[in-house]
Structures are given as C-alpha cells and as structure tokens.
C-alpha cells in the first residue's frame, strides 16, 4: 500500500501548476522543445533545469510544457488539451516522460499501455509537424523495485533491466529517440553502491534534486548530441557532484547514439512527400472482423518489413519481409485466429518507419 498511498497523495496535492519553465531570450530561430509528462517532470522543475543548462551553454531554446501530476502517457495521448498544446507550434522536439511501473510490466498494468500511447502521440505530433523528433525518456526503477507489492520479488536491478529492454523495443518498433535517463541512473547507483535516497527522493520513487539534474543532463546530450561536461550550471548542487553527473550523462548518451536511435529519423506518418521513398496505407476494412488488406508502396527498391504488434509492443507476426522493386503492393491479413483488441502494424525500410493502428473485432475470439 505504500506506493499507492504516495501516488494518491501526489494526485491530491496537484503539483502541475507549481512549476513554469522559463524561456530564454528568443533569437530568430530558437530550438522549440515541448515537455509532456507528470510529477516526475514537475519535481525540481525539470524543464527549467534543462532550460538553464541550455542557457548556460549559449543554446537558444524556447521551452514549453504540458506537465500534469498523476497522468500517464496514455492519458496525454487521449487528451484534447495535450493535443492542442502539440498543435500550438512546429516543435523541433517533444520530450515524453515515461513511468517505471507501466514500462517495466505492461502485461500487468494494462490500464495505461505505453506502446499504444507512444504510437498515438507519434501520429498526433507528426500530423502537426512531420519534422518534429519524439524523445521518450527511459524511466528509472523504484528504489526498492517491486518488493512493496505483495508477492513480488523484483528488486531495483530487475525492474530497471525490464524497462531498458521494453524501451528499446518501443524505439525499434516505432523509430523513437530514447533519452536513456534510467540507464544513467543505474550506472550512478551501481558505482555508488546504491546509497539510500541518493537519486530517489524519500518516497522511493520520485527524483531527488540529484536525480533531476542527472535527468536534465541526459536530455541535454540526447537533444544536442554533445557533452554537458563543463557547462557552468550547478542546479544548487556541489561542483564535484554536477561534474560527475555531467560526465555520466554525456558518456551514456554519446558513446552509443545508434543504440538510443538518436541518429535516425522518424518519417511523416500522414502523407508521402518527395523526400520519403515509401508509404503505408490504413488497412481496409478497419475494424477487421476476419480478413483485411494492407496496401503499401515504395519509390525505390529495397528491403521492406511489415510487422504486426500487440497493444504492449510485442511483435505478433511478420506480414512482409523481403526485397521489393519500386511499385505498389498489398498484403492480405487473416485475423480470424487472433484475439480481438488494438494492434499496430509498422512498415520499416532501413532506419525509417511508418506505424498505423488496426482494430481487430473478431466476434469469435476475445482477448
């Protein structure tokens, strides 16, 4: 009950309007960044910490946020207010804050599926501005893992590994950029031999100011693809602490840009532009009652893969996996033996992706 009590208290207190990100002085072309999240971003005013790091390194940025305590990404994905915020500007980056429990255990926490939330937000963001890059912050595990739940034995390490694996799977399926926040936390805590309430606050869950500063440094290196080492901003911490966090964050991000998908590009999900060499159409019919047809096209020859995923991002089937010459193609999908529910199918060519939602309404099989 400890975690439930804490979460309820956070919702009741309502931190969402206590922290407004400060905008730096605007130049002609600042980098426009929108933060979407909950109390993890609200604690220590994460968008402001990032803004201060950027200002201290002479980066011109415009920062805005839609940060509501107690909400999950799934809530934001279906919020007309969040959608209106997304549509306010042609954002260069939208940074999404993940939650540890639903990311680590999607098969248990089914009320707020992360994969479908990311897919929905990706479509909304790309519909507003096709060049916007979507960044998903890999969450950190609870300080005591899941041992606060009766019958659960996963410790911090076990929970963190599951979040790592699932986040990389979401990135691979949807083409998202990962800001490896939780992985940087893991390295720090392991090196420090897991001191109590060091990166976590006393609720074993939310970040301390050290954890928030480390998160800001990770996001900084993810977006700018450069080190935060020697940036003269300390966030109220000791210089030696900030030096350490900046070094860890920079190394975790920059030593493996490909792993975090930082060097790849997410393509437009709504229309085939002259710069895109392939396109995936909405399946017909949708909802699917037994069979459906999926049409796709490619302007250039290459290896194409179409995969089907369930609502948690687990690969369900490969529908296409072969080299194609330029042209229009279609594939038949037989859903008669698959449980009803929401699925996603993704067309991949090299490092680019298009993902669409499929609703399966099989009257004989229920999930």
pLDDT score at 40: 96
Same domain, 312 and 232: no
Same domain, 164 and 304: no
Same domain, 168 and 104: yes
The separation between the first and the last C-alpha atoms of the chain, rounded to the nearest angstrom, is 29
Residue 127 lies in a domain: yes
Residue 365 lies in a domain: no
Residue 271 lies in a domain: no
Is residue 265 scored above 70 in pLDDT? no
Residue 307 lies in a domain: yes
DSSP tag of 200? B
Residue 156 lies in a domain: yes
- Looking at residue 62, which CATH number applies to its domain? 3.40.50.1110
Same domain, 245 and 340: no
Same domain, 122 and 13: yes
Residue 322's CB is within 10 A of a number of other CB atoms, namely 9
Same domain, 54 and 150: yes
Distances in Å between the Cα of 83 and the Cα atoms of 99, 297, 344 are 20, 30, 21
Same domain, 191 and 286: no
Under 8 Å CB-to-CB from 51, ≥6 apart: which residues?
21, 22, 23, 24, 61, 63
Is residue 180 scored above 90 in pLDDT? yes
Crossing angle of helices 181-191/239-254, nearest 10°? 130
- Looking at residue 309, which CATH number applies to its domain? 2.60.40.1930
Per-residue confidence at 21, pLDDT binned at 50, 70, 90?
low
Same domain, 53 and 120: yes
Residue 142 lies in a domain: yes
Query: By the 8 A CB rule, do 319 and 346 touch?
Result: no
Same domain, 178 and 306: no
pTM above the 0.85 mark?
A: no
For the chain, how many structural domains are there in total?
Answer: 2
pLDDT, tens digit (0-9, with 9 covering 90-100), for 165-175: 999 989 988 88
Distance CA 128, CA 90 (A): 7
pLDDT, tens digit (0-9, with 9 covering 90-100), for 84-143: 999 999 999 999 998 999 999 999 999 999 999 999 999 999 999 999 999 999 999 999
Same domain, 310 and 222: no
pLDDT, tens digit (0-9, with 9 covering 90-100), for 323-344: 999 888 999 988 888 888 888 8
> Which residues constitute the domain of residue 319?
278-360
Residue 78 lies in a domain: yes
Q: For residues 146-165, give the mean pLDDT.
A: 94
Is residue 362 scored above 60 in pLDDT? yes
Crossing angle of helices 156-174/114-128, nearest 10°? 40
Same domain, 244 and 285: no
Query: By the 8 A CB rule, do 142 and 156 touch?
Result: yes
Of residues 277 and 224, more confidently modeled: 224
Same domain, 139 and 220: yes
Distance CA 342, CA 345 (A): 10
Residue 259 lies in a domain: no
């Amino acid at each position: 009950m400890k975690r439930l009590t804490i979460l309820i208290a956070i919702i009741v207190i309502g931190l969402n309007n206590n922290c407004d990100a400060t905008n730096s002085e605007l130049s002609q072309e600042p980098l426009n960044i929108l933060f979407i999240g909950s109390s993890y971003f609200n604690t220590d005013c994460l968008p402001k910490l990032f803004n201060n790091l950027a200002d201290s390194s002479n980066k011109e940025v415009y920062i805005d946020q839609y940060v509501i305590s107690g909400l999950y990404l799934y809530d934001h994905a279906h919020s007309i207010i969040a959608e209106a915020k997304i549509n306010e500007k042609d954002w260069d980056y939208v940074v999404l804050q993940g939650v540890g429990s639903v990311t680590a255990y999607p098969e248990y926490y089914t009320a707020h599926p992360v994969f479908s939330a990311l897919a929905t937000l990706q479509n909304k963001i790309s519909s507003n501005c096709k060049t916007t890059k979507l960044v998903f912050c890999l969450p950190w595990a609870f300080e005591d893992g899941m041992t606060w739940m009766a019958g659960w034995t996963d410790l911090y390490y076990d929970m963190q590994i599951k979040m790592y694996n699932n986040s990389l799977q979401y990135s691979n399926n949807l083409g998202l950029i990962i800001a490896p926040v939780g992985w940087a936390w893991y390295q720090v805590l392991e090196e420090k031999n897991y001191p109590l309430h060091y990166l976590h606050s006393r609720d074993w869950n939310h970040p301390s100011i050290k954890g928030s500063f480390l998160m800001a440094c990770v996001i900084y290196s993810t977006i700018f693809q450069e080190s935060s080492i020697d940036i003269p901003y300390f966030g109220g911490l000791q210089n030696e602490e900030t030096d350490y966090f900046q070094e860890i964050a920079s190394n975790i991000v920059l030593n493996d840009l490909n792993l975090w998908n930082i060097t790849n590009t997410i393509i437009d999900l709504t229309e085939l532009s002259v710069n895109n060499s392939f396109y995936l159409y909405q399946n017909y019919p949708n909802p699917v009652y037994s069979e459906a047809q999926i049409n796709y096209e490619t302007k250039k020859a290459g290896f194409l893969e179409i995969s089907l995923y369930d609502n948690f991002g687990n690969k369900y089937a490969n529908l296409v996996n072969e080299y194609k010459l330029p042209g229009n193609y279609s594939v038949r999908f037989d859903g008669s033996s698959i449980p009803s529910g929401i699925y996603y199918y993704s067309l991949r060519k090299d490092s680019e992706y298009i993902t669409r939602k499929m609703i399966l309404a099989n009257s004989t099989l229920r999930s």
